[in-house]
């Protein structure tokens, strides 16, 4: 291998990691923490208390030092009165629906190497700009509801850019030095090595079971698959760990203004805006180091087309999606689609746990914003440890990526199940602890959930990479994201309806337990080896 190749690989890896460093801050600081709180606070500052809907929820309507009144708060959107906590969940549902439409449209474009980076940078900067605009939109503004639009644009920008980012993972794993070395060993075998095997002379040193060239190639191929799987999960874990580290740093910085301003709406907007600025600034190294238009000539794209049209690609992407979901194609890649079915349920469970937990802590446990920020710090901090610890356990015990995902899913299901125990009167009477009825329990669960969620994110996308047809990574990661966002649209919507109907968001924990456990048997039915083989041989017709 020439010295230039490892240098080029390291440059591309640094570019990829830099975008993880940039975008994950928005997820940790805004998407999972401050945006749900800020949207609920925007609605609360403009809402009224039930049952009369005359008295304002915020007795002193000021962004600087709001004084909240006790009671259930609702806000009027159009002709509907909805719970302020549900407003945040509904906005998220709409945003992920828009995100799914965007991801479908861009799938084919992102499979072109010269356009992949353009999409990543463009959507990343648009999302960052929307998050930054929160700095200039107070909740006292007559157009305060534009906060929902900004949140949606930011979420769409993040989701679309991450599809392009994830599509780099298989290529980076294949170009890692250890994987390339094994591939070179495989390529050293002559094509006719199996046709004329050399006869083995009999003697005392002759092994009882000889390794033919064919067997040696099979062993090398097995080594290649194993090392490629490890490289994929390692790169994914590095991105998660680095992004979580950046998110923790920014959360600690935002803890100062939010604490000093007692969780005012302005302090929440300040935190969201700062995450947008961070996102934009650290996207620039990715724009410089990731491979882009230089990979092909300006007159010819990666597939040799001389006349390329974005609109034609968008139309083709929708047609291709219908083709990918045809029963014939599902049968050819049945294990890939089994995993997508499980991912549909799991992504909903995990992402809805995060948003529900934040709103639950604020509205039910009455936690201060500073306490929620501390939880926001503890979760990614334990996520870093989890994303580094689980690969160590994998190497020690020889677990596959799929087995680790199943273990993580079972461990995660304990969290909503624990919340369901809060309905037992014993926790509210004698014990006064347990079933997520006290603020102290939220901190322990944050550490526990973070150690699971960080590892789950890295292994989920790494394992999926093993089941993808070569050369179509962006398209299939687009389907991965669509599956994710389709369920993420359903989850918050159902939780919002549960909260509106019952007035108690705790009932949503039963729904989350069901969603997570329903995925376990589907995961266990995935045949990894068969899935890899089918993906290699797959050719879309």
In the 3-class helix/strand/coil scheme, how is 162-212 assigned residue by residue?
HHHHHCCHHHHHHHCHHHHHHHHHHHCCCCCCCCCCCCCCCCCCCCCCCCC
Structure confidence by residue, pLDDT tens digits, 180-212: 888 887 777 665 555 444 444 444 444 444 445
For residue 271, what are the domain limits? Answer: 4-190+215-296+314-537
Q: Is 486's pLDDT higher than 70?
A: no
To the nearest whole percent, how much of the chain has pLDDT over 70? 82
| Distance in angstroms (rounded) separating the CA atoms of residues 143 and 61 | 16
Total number of domains in the chain? 1
Q: What is the pLDDT of residue 378?
A: 84
CA distances from 180 to 183, 477, 502, 534 (A): 5, 23, 57, 22
DSSP state of 90: H
- Token readout for 537 is 């041989």
Q: Is residue 386 part of a domain?
A: yes
The 10s digit of each residue's pLDDT in 314-346 is: 777 777 777 777 788 888 889 999 999 898 888
Average pLDDT over residues 400-425: 85
- Peptide linkage before 51 cis (omega within 30 of 0): yes
Structural tokens at position 507:
């009932």
Question: Which of 487, 479, 443 is CA-nearest to residue 350?
Answer: 487
Other beta carbons within 10 angstroms of residue 3's beta carbon come to 7
Among 155-159, 300-304, 401-405, whose mean pLDDT is lowest?
300-304
| Residue 195 covered by a domain | no
Task: Indicate if the pLDDT at residue 130 is higher than 90.
Answer: yes
Helix (H) or strand (E) holding 247: helix 213-260
Model confidence at 71, pLDDT cuts 50, 70, 90, reads low
Residue 342 lies in a domain: yes
198 inside domain: no
Residue 257 lies in a domain: yes
Tokens of 35: 């945006």
Give the CATH number for residue 133: 1.20.1250.20
**Residue 191 contacts by C-beta under 8 Å, 6 or more apart in sequence?**
none
pLDDT over 60 (residue 425):
no
User: What is the spatial distance between Cα 278 and Cα 262, in angstroms, rounded to a whole number?
Assistant: 24
Integer CA distances (angstroms), 186 to 1, 176, 179, 477, 528, in order: 14, 16, 11, 28, 22
Residue 207 inside a domain? The answer is no
Residue 286: inside a domain, yes or no?
Answer: yes
For the cut 80, the answer to whether the pLDDT of residue 307 exceeds it is: no
Does any domain span residue 454? Answer: yes
Whether the Cβ atoms of residue 107 and residue 510 lie closer than 8 Å to each other: no
Closest by CA to 462, choosing from 208, 259, 246, 173, is 173
Band of pLDDT at residue 297, cut at 50, 70 and 90: very low
Residue 136 predicted with pLDDT over 90: yes
């Amino acid at each position: 291998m020439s010295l230039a190749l490892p240098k080029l690989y390291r440059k591309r890896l640094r570019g990829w990691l830099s975008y993880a460093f940039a975008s994950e801050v928005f997820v940790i600081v805004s998407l999972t923490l401050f945006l749900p709180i800020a949207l609920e606070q925007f609605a609360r500052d403009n809402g009224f208390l039930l049952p009369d809907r005359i008295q304002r929820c915020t007795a002193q309507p000021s962004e600087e030092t709001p004084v909240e009144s006790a009671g259930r708060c609702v806000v009027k959107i159009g002709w509907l009165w909805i719970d302020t906590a549900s407003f945040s969940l509904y906005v998220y549902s709409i945003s992920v629906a828009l995100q799914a439409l965007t991801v479908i449209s861009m799938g084919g474009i992102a499979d072109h190497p010269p356009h992949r980076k353009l999409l990543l940078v463009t959507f990343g900067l648009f999302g960052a700009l929307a998050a930054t605009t929160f700095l200039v939109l107070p909740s006292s503004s007559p157009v305060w509801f534009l906060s929902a639009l900004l949140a949606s644009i930011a979420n769409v920008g993040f989701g679309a850019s991450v599809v392009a980012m994830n599509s780099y993972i298989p290529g980076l794993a294949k170009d890692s030095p250890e994987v390339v070395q094994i591939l070179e060993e495989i390529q050293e075998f002559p094509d006719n090595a199996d046709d004329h095997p050399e006869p083995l002379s009999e003697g005392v040193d002759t092994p009882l079971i000889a390794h033919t060239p064919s067997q040696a190639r099979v062993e090398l191929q097995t080594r290649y698959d194993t090392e490629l799987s490890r490289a994929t999960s390692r790169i994914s874990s590095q991105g998660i760990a680095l992004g979580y580290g950046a998110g923790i740093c920014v959360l600690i910085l935002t803890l100062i203004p939010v604490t000093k301003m007692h969780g005012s709406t302005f302090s929440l907007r300040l935190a969201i805006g700062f995450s947008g600025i961070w996102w934009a600034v650290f996207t620039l190294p990715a724009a410089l180091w990731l491979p882009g238009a230089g990979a092909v000539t300006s007159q010819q794209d990666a597939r040799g087309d001389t006349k390329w049209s974005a609109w034609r690609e968008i139309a083709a992407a929708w047609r291709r999606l219908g083709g990918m979901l045809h029963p014939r194609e599902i049968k050819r890649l049945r294990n890939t689609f089994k995993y997508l079915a499980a991912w549909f349920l799991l992504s909903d469970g995990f992402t809805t746990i995060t948003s529900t937990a934040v709103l639950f802590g604020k509205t039910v446990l009455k936690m201060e914003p500073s306490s929620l920020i501390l939880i926001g710090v503890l979760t990614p901090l334990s996520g870093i440890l989890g994303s580094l610890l689980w690969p160590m356990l994998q190497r020690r015990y020889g677990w596959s990526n799929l087995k680790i995902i199943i273990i993580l899913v079972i461990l995660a299901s304990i969290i909503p199940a624990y919340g369901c125990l809060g309905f037992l009167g014993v926790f509210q009477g004698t014990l006064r602890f347990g079933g997520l009825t006290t603020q102290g329990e939220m901190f322990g669960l944050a550490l526990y959930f973070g150690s699971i969620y960080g590892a789950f994110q890295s292994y989920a996308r790494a394992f999926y990479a093993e089941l993808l047809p070569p050369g179509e990574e962006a398209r299939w990661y687009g389907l991965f994201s669509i599956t994710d966002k389709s369920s993420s649209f359903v989850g918050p919507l159902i939780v919002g309806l549960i909260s509106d109907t019952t007035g108690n968001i705790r009932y949503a924990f039963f729904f989350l337990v069901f969603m997570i456990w329903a995925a376990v048997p589907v995961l266990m039915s995935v045949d990894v080896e068969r899935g890899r083989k089918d993906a290699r041989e797959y050719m879309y017709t």
